[in-house]
Every structure is written in C-alpha cells, then in structure tokens.
Structure 1
Amino acid sequence: MYSFTNQFSGPTLRQRVSMMNNHRSGSSAWWRYTLWAILIGTMGLACRYTDKQGEQTSRPHMLPASSPTRAMVLDLEDKGTWYRHHALFQNKLGTTVVESKPVVLHLEGNKFIVPDDYKYESAVYIDGKEVPVDALEKLSPEFVRELFVMHQWENMANIDTKAKPYQIIVQTSQQPIPFDVFRKQFFTLLQAAAVSQHPLGESFSFNMNQLLEATFFHNKNALVERTKDEHLKLYDDFAKTTDIFINNLPATPAAVKTVHVREVARLYTKERSYRAWFRADNPLPRFELNIQTTPKRAKRDSSYYVFSPFYSGDF
C-alpha cells in the first residue's frame, strides 16, 4: 500500500545483525584502515596547501623573511595593528615605493633626520638591531637597501601601548646601490619633506570669517596676510612660487593687494605635490591661490555686517 518500507523489519534487520556479528578478516580490515588514514592525510595536506595559497592571495604584499628587516616587518604586520606608512623595497616586479602623510623621515642634504615632532614617537632599527634615533644620521641613501616606516593604527583593539607608534626599520648594503627611478622618487620625497610641511600636496579653503581668523594668527596656509587697511597681501615668501587667480582669472601679487578682506566670499589655497615643483626640469609653481570675491562688500553696508573678534575694521 505504501511505497515506503520499514528498513528495520524482516530480513533486512537480520542481515544487519549478521553483518555486525561477522568476524572481519584481519589483514583486509587493516588495509582498509590504512587506506582510509592515507586518504585523510592527503586531504589534510591539500587543505594546508590551499590555505597557504589563499593567504598569499589575500596578502599579495607579503615579503619573504629574507633579512632581519623583513622579518621585523612581517612580525609587525602579523599583529594586525601595523601597516607600511613609508616603504622602499624590492619585490618580483622591481623597486616598490609606499608614500603616506605625514612624512616622518626627512633627508637634509645626504643626512637622514627624524623631525622633533616625531622623534619621541619613533623607534629605529638598523639591520635588525635597535639603535638611537640619531644613528640614522650616519647612513647614506646609496647604502640603504630597503627602508620601512611602520605605523601602528590608532584607536584599535589589541594595540601595543608600550611600542613607539612609528618603527623605522632599515636594511643596509655593503655596496652602493644604483638609483633607479623609484629610488630617486622615494629619496626626493624625503628631501622635499625637509623644506615643506606638505610634500605630498594639500589644499585649504577659507570663508571670510575663517580668513579673518587665519590672518589674525598669521596662518601661512592662507598664503596671504592682512594689511593695516584690511586688504590682503601675498606673503613675500610665496610671491615667486604661487599661481594667483582672482575670480578664476590669472592675477598678480599687486592685484591681491586690491582685495578688501570683506570682499572675500571664499579663498582657496593649494600646495602642489613635490613631483610638480621639487624637480630640476620644468618645475611648476609650488602654490596656488584662488580668491572668489563679492565686490560690493568692500564698504560698510547695512545689508552685511561682519561679526568677528578678529576684525577691527569698519563693520
């Protein structure tokens, strides 16, 4: 009547009991167990190989620990709270460079310097051994094989609170290393960082009230200062290295002096990346200034008042 039969009734049950009571042949049973063990072992090795391949795929930047420096880098990365902030190293594709803000290692002339702002926050290792920060000054770029600046992520769980947040790790060479385009790029960045706070470029924007505050505190990111009669003036330091635009039209430092601070609707400044200006061939001006104005606000007008503790002119 039913297509489903009880598998635990009739001869089937007797057959199962008989099979359970049968004596296994000794040698054939052991061979089956041995074969099973070999199969399980092979599968385990295959899984480990697959996991290793997966790890290499998910971490293509992983380096072989072929030097004390690389071993330290890998050890920090394995903790999950460190990353390569700056780096110069070799991989299968050639020289690789990593750049980040801020640049915590400078090159003044031919001497490595850690700025005072980062000196206390930095630990230095040369060829796997910790050394004083000032030991970097004895190194020369052509004898630096690989260099890593590792930075610990902030506000993460499980960070090492006892470790300095910047780890400068250097591998040296007995022989001078030829400079390819990427090595030149890396060390040029460090040189540019010695003369600029923003070697990788930065932009700033000010409305009128923000500009009043910036000029009151002589914030040079605005590129301009305020004269006694409340007009703008490009800092002398930037006069020869700044592209100037007023209402999107090219202008001169003299034209900036005609702009009253009350006329400023928005002021934009930009420092270009070191690649544009820190070069021997066809450098661009380092800075750009763009002023957007509202001309009718130059004189006191009942429709517009300036309420700012940083402004003492005609409101």
Structure 2
Amino acid sequence: MYSFTNQFSGPTLRQRVGMINSQPSGPWAWWRYALWIVLMGGMILACQHKVREQVHIPGQALSKKTLAATSPTRALVVELEDKKTWYRHLALFQTKIGTEVVRSQPIILQLKDDRFLLPDDYKYESAIYIDGQEASVEALEKLSPEFVSELFIMHQWENMAYADNQAKPYQILIQTSPSPVVFNVYRKQFFTLLQAAALSKHPLGETFSFNMNQLLEATFFHNKNALVERTKDEHLRIYDEYKTTVEVFINNLPVTPADVKTVHVREVARLYTKERPYYEWFRADSPSPRFELHIETTPKRAKRDSSYYVFSPFYTGDF
C-alpha cells in the first residue's frame, strides 16, 4: 500500500547501472560517428561558398566570359564593361561555339524595309559608333543587316555611384563586314525581333491587368493597352485596329470581338490583356493572333445597386 524511496532508487541510478551492463560499441558504431562528422564538415564547407567576380587584368589571360577585343567595336565594348556600370542590353556576336544573342526590353533599335531605324524617343539618349568611330543617325539608317557582322547595344546602370552622368545611357556599337554575312537561325531571329519592334512596343510579349476602376481610367485616357474603348452607352468595344488580331474570352469562354459590345463597363470584375511574343505572331506559317483579351464579369452590377460604389472620377453613369 505504501512505497518507501531513497536516494538510490531514482531513475538516474538505474540508468547508470544499465549503461555499465550494456554491450560496448562495436567497430561499426565508430564508423557511423566518423561518417556523421564528415557529412557535417561537408555541409559547413558548402555554406561558406562565395561568388567570385571575374575581373580582367591587363596582361593576363581573358576569362571565358570576357569579350576578346579583336575589332574596334569589341574594344569599345570591353572598355565600357571595364567601368562596371555598363552591360550588354542587346547584342549579336560570335563566340568560339557559335552565334550568341542577348535580348532585353526596351528594344531601342528597329528594322524597317531592310534598314535600321532609331525611334525618336531614343535618338537623344543614344550614341552611335560604327567600326569604332562615332557616327550619325543617318549613317546608321543607311546600313543593311547583311553587312553587319556584330552589334552591341550597351546600357548604363542607373543611379550607380560611379556612373558617367555625361555619357548617353545607350551606346549602339556596330561592326560591319565588307561582304554579306551568311544568316544562320540566330541572326534571323535577332533581326526578326528588330522588325517586330517596328510594329510593337513589346515584341517580347507583355501582359496588363485592370479592375473596373482601372478600366474606367484606361478608357477615359484612351490607354490602348486595355485593347477596348468605352462607347456612349457605357459598353465596351475593341479598337478597330485590334479586331482582326485579337483572341477574345469572356468568363473563360471563347467569343467574337463583336460580343464584347454586350459587356457593360460596370459589369467588369477584371480585364486582362496579353501581347504574345513576336515569334508567335510575326511569322509566315500559321501565325497566332497577336493579342489576347480576357474579361471576367459580374452581371449583377449591370443593374442599379446602391450597395456598390464606383471610386472613380472617370465614370459619369447612373449607379
């Protein structure tokens, strides 16, 4: 009924006795501990990994990623990259393994009627060099792609401590060839991109999203990224210039551009637009529609509903 305890009957004493009577660890146990120590050491070394910046020191061998200054144009590229404030924004050049292409938006150089075109928005912001010599916009526009061996558009990082504020932010560097250059698949894709840039501000593709208030504002200011405009009776209508190049979905169901006219502007819960990348629509064989338009609606909003308010100064209809 009663139990008597003393200082020798606790669990600590029993555990010690059990350890004394247990079998000693065999060789496998020591190998297990050694393996555990090796694994932990490997994890510690892995956590100490550092990213090393490759810097070209004059007189030493070039790293694989450093451009060899084998032409006046390449020499200018290397000079800019050595300043650590410039990067290759757009480029077409040769490496030991073939043709390499660099692409990023905006595409500031265009191609139209087999001639280069520099948009007005970038004429003041760009310096042009042909074969290492500064050139004019007129000289650039006389060049033909088949006589361009390499092309670099360098862009200076903004707001960097060592940025050259006196330099124009874009440097267009072109190396020409005395004879026509054979077009491989990469050169074709590169110059096709420049052709598409003459037609689109977003040749690599872009998406936009609007809620109802944002759509009211977009239609008020005729923001064509929405692909639609507002009619006098407060319904939507696709811009005429997009009717033949857009694929339309209302509540995830495919419809015709004419069906968009049935949507009242305050029915719109969400509107999404997408411009597909140029290689899907700027092609001769089976091109896809250039744009997608997705409209999600809330039909109850079409009726007067005092519980819903439009927080937009761009709507004058009756709610």
Q: So what's the TM-score if we normalise by structure 2?
A: 0.80
- 1: distance between equivalents of 2:234 and 2:82? 57
Query: Where does residue 178 of structure 2 map in the other structure?
Result: 174
Q: CA deviation at 1:138?
A: 1.2
Where 1:237 maps in the other structure, the secondary structure is helix
Where 2:66 maps in the other structure, the secondary structure is coil
Farther-moved stretch of structure 1 (303-312 vs 239-248):
303-312
Among residues 63, 74, 79, which one is paired with 2:78 in the alignment?
74
Where 2:303 maps in the other structure, the secondary structure is coil
Say if 2:227 is the partner of 1:223: yes
Query: Where does residue 6 of structure 2 map in the other structure?
Result: none
Query: Where does residue 26 of structure 1 map in the other structure?
Result: none
Letter in 2 for 1:185: Q
- 2: distance between equivalents of 1:231 and 1:284? 27
Query: Where does residue 208 of structure 2 map in the other structure?
Result: 204
Letter in 2 for 1:118: Y
Contact 1:299 1:314 in 2 (8 A): no
Query: Where does residue 276 of structure 2 map in the other structure?
Result: 272
Say if 2:300 is the partner of 1:308: no
Query: Where does residue 131 of structure 1 map in the other structure?
Result: 135
- Please, what is the CA RMSD of the aligned residues? 1.5
Matches within 5 A, 1:241-280: 241-280=245-284
- 2: distance between equivalents of 1:133 and 1:160? 22
- 2: distance between equivalents of 1:129 and 1:307? 56
Query: Where does residue 288 of structure 1 map in the other structure?
Result: 292
Percentage of matched positions with identical amino acids: 73
Q: Deviations over 1:253-278 (max 9, x none)?
A: 12111111111011000001101101
Among residues 140, 144, 158, which one is paired with 1:140 in the alignment?
144
Where 1:288 maps in the other structure, the secondary structure is strand
Q: CA deviation at 1:77?
A: 0.5
Letter in 1 for 2:126: S
Contact 1:122 1:133 in 2 (8 A): no
Q: CA deviation at 1:52?
A: 5.3
Q: Deviations over 1:168-212 (max 9, x none)?
A: 000000000011000001100111111111111110000000000
4+ residue segments displaced more than 2 Å: none
Contact 1:203 1:271 in 2 (8 A): yes
Q: CA deviation at 1:61?
A: 2.6
Contact 1:105 1:113 in 2 (8 A): yes
- 2: distance between equivalents of 1:222 and 1:293? 15
Letter in 2 for 1:235: Y
Unaligned runs of 5+ in 2: 1-55
Query: Where does residue 83 of structure 1 map in the other structure?
Result: 87
Contact 1:201 1:270 in 2 (8 A): yes
Matches within 5 A, 1:5-84: 56=63, 60-84=64-88
Where 1:257 maps in the other structure, the secondary structure is helix
Contact 1:215 1:224 in 2 (8 A): yes
Among residues 101, 104, 107, which one is paired with 2:108 in the alignment?
104
- 1: distance between equivalents of 2:308 and 2:165? 52
Letter in 2 for 1:306: V
Letter in 2 for 1:161: N
- 2: distance between equivalents of 1:155 and 1:279? 39
Letter in 2 for 1:294: T
